[in-house]
Amino acid sequence: MPKAKSKQTVQRKKVTFSMEAADAENVILMGDFNSWNPKKHPMKSIGNGMWNKTVMLPAGTYEYKFLIDGNWRLDPQNNQICPNCFGSQNNVFSLTVL
């Protein structure tokens, strides 16, 4: 008799990242949640110099940064930071999914 496969669904939560970059042409959300891949989470300009990106993430602690026109920038709305292996810093946030 074959075993029934149990379906485990990972609970995820919407997280919206925002960045003010008035003169930017290109803003990308990069982090360990997307393997620091610049093609996965390009942000969208919503006007008034603001850029947004909403992603669905499982519970966990994440490091991230913004790549603005080829330059790394920390999130000024998040003062939680940690050192990275390149001698600079990344932002950190923890997400709880209920």
Going by C-alpha positions, the residue among 57, 58, 59, 24 that lies closest to residue 42 is 24
Residue pointed to by tokens 């919206």: 16
Q: Report the CATH number of the 12-95 domain.
A: 2.60.40.10
pLDDT in tens, 36-57: 999 999 999 999 999 999 999 9
More confident residue, 58 or 9: 58
Mean pLDDT of the chain: 92
Q: What does the alpha-carbon distance between residue 87 and residue 36 come to, in Å, rounded to a whole number?
A: 17
Q: Domain limits of the chain?
A: 12-95
- Looking at the whole model, is its pTM more than 0.85? yes
Please say if the pLDDT value at position 1 is more than 50: no
